[in-house]
Structure 1
């Protein structure tokens, strides 16, 4: 059993409804973590979910806090949310370099997985912004300087390069279509296990005594439609395999 922290995979929406001369607003809170959480707990892992709105105040500050986990998963949560705690952003008080602490924790033996989304890697309009952080060096891929999203509404088929690699968990056969991903570039010392349209989909590497991995599409809709994340047994095998490889 591994102890897994998933940061992100939640959001709030605020909608304006206009009906002729009148309008009103509605708000909603949504979590997209459930397919991933269910896949990992189903394989015996202990999962803690830190929703996106709690990340600025509650993400682990240092190596001691991170040592409560074997693997940290960042999914659809930008670098600003991790780095800018309320005391730093709202009160201009020096705080912890959380991404630096995460980098050092991986180098000392931890496992890091980044999953794609509008606020992963470089992200929508560059707002995820990991390219200019110390965590960039940890990832098995190079990030683009510009908006890196690739929207593929007709769907893309994964090309599995190393089906026997343990990080893929023994997923067999053709993978269901994915509807988009974050475009990244492989590093020389990384292993690209699967691609989408020639770009890395799953890549892994060693970093010091630790390991890092990426899954550049989503773990939930919209890029990962239900046939992929809800109906396909290979989904749990892939994400379970990634976590288990990262945790050694």
Structure 2
């Protein structure tokens, strides 16, 4: 039976301002960054439901029972406010379920959760992802800084494998380079599988009956370099990590 994965985030809309002499015009574009990860998981035999950022407020499950349809939830480059500030709450001051608390309860009851790095993950760009002020601060296997946590590395950095683990079985110990990551602090009860210097890069943990993981860099550009995305073991890594999160040993 294939695993069911819910991936939320990894999309953005861009607005361009163009000046040509005395003339000015604007352009807009919409992009999705999760396609390499989705393809990798599907190639590993998993069923992926993708929910881009703009659909999350209206469509993300609001009960543990609805979320239990999925074996693993992946949050990637999606800020906490996208979950917390539904239009009913923000513009009409109505009470609604706290979907981050729903995720926390889902994990406590045996679900898997992975947060992948990005400008709107963990504390995020300028601290604006803001997960450090949410219930997921108690769920994730890392402590967050509470302010801008980005470490930009245009020269490229290669994470180092720190120990053997089923998540890394058969994976080359020499990883491709990344162009940045988020500075996190591994919790005492967690396990760090990859690190960059003193900074954890891949951290695993447990919350209640469920498993959790934090990957400090991106699954796609810009931090996730083309060398990483095109790495022959890219799909194997994400597949093994997701299967571990689902409870497979």
Q: TM-score, normalised by structure 2?
A: 0.97
Distance 1:11 1:170 in 2: 34
Displacement after TM superposition at 1:198 (Å) = 2.3
- Say whether the 8 Å CA contact 1:169–1:237 is kept in structure 2: no
- Say whether the 8 Å CA contact 1:126–1:147 is kept in structure 2: yes
Which structure 1 residue ranges, 4+ long, deviate > 4 Å from structure 2? none
Displacement after TM superposition at 1:169 (Å) = 4.7
Displacement after TM superposition at 1:64 (Å) = 1.2
Distance 1:51 1:100 in 2: 20
Distance 2:28 2:169 in 1: 39
1:203-242 aligned at under 5 Å gives the runs 203-229=203-229, 231-242=230-241
Displacement after TM superposition at 1:155 (Å) = 0.3
Distance 2:182 2:19 in 1: 34
The alignment of Structure 1 onto Structure 2 pairs a total of residues equal to 246
- Say whether the 8 Å CA contact 2:16–2:27 is kept in structure 1: yes
Query: For residue 159 of structure 1, what is the aligned residue in structure 2?
Result: 160
Distance 1:86 1:59 in 2: 14
Q: Secondary structure at the match of 1:91?
A: coil
- Say whether the 8 Å CA contact 1:169–1:239 is kept in structure 2: no
Displacement after TM superposition at 1:197 (Å) = 2.9
Displacement after TM superposition at 1:51 (Å) = 0.4
Query: For residue 246 of structure 1, what is the aligned residue in structure 2?
Result: 245
After superposition, give the CA deviation of every residue in 1:8-50 in whole Å (9 maximum; x if it has no partner).
0010001001111101100000000111001100000000000
Distance 2:12 2:118 in 1: 12
Query: For residue 71 of structure 2, what is the aligned residue in structure 1?
Result: 70
Displacement after TM superposition at 1:228 (Å) = 0.5
1:82-93 aligned at under 5 Å gives the runs 82-93=83-94
- Say whether the 8 Å CA contact 1:115–1:215 is kept in structure 2: yes
Unaligned runs of 5+ in 2: none
After superposition, give the CA deviation of every residue in 1:49-95 in whole Å (9 maximum; x if it has no partner).
00011111111111011011010000000000011212111211000
Distance 1:137 1:43 in 2: 30
- Say whether the 8 Å CA contact 1:156–1:197 is kept in structure 2: no
Unaligned runs of 5+ in 1: none
Query: For residue 132 of structure 1, what is the aligned residue in structure 2?
Result: 133
Q: CA RMSD, aligned part only?
A: 0.9
Q: Secondary structure at the match of 2:238?
A: helix
Distance 1:12 1:192 in 2: 34
Distance 2:240 2:214 in 1: 12
Q: Secondary structure at the match of 2:91?
A: helix
Distance 1:210 1:173 in 2: 27
Query: For residue 45 of structure 1, what is the aligned residue in structure 2?
Result: 46
